[in-house]
Amino acid sequence: MGEPKIHSSGIVDVEFGEGVTLVEPVNLYGCKLGDNVFVGPFVEIQRRVNIGPRTRIQSHAFICELVTIGEDCFVSHGAKFINDPFKIGGPARGDQTQWKETHIGNRVSIGTNATIMPVKICDDVVIGAGSVVTKDITEAGTYAGNPARRMS
């Protein structure tokens, strides 16, 4: 029988603004958190992620590499960000050149269990719970569904 390779979770190489609140356990590494950011328990934020001031990240959220989130945003429980769009018909399998960036504007709320593919979302948008955002959102408003569409 072999021995497992164990990686510890924790907080490594993070740039913190003033007044940041973390509720452990969290796994944060190589990221930047602006002033007065809140991060709930069981959250992972990976390297090359920037979170703007006064943004709240609720429990069980996963924010992968190459994500930028603006100011005064809300990321609800279980929201997931994806950086591998499977451009080659499957996972990039470690080929990070296949990964794409995600940019979230200011005052964006992302609902519980939403999935955000590599897209750009403009300011003042609400993403409904369970929605899957597969395309850029360029108009303020409320979007929901799979794929997410603007609600009338």
What pLDDT digit, counting tens, does each position of 36-75 carry?
999 999 999 999 999 999 999 999 999 999 999 999 999 9
Round to whole Å and give the CA distance between 132 and 68. Answer: 18
CA distance 85 to 68: 17
Residue 97 phi, psi dihedral angles, 5° rounding: -70, -15
The residue type of 151 is: M
Q: Tell me if the pTM is above 0.85.
A: yes
> What CATH number was assigned to the domain covering residues 11-85+97-150?
2.160.10.10
**pLDDT tens for residues 131-145?**
999 999 999 999 999
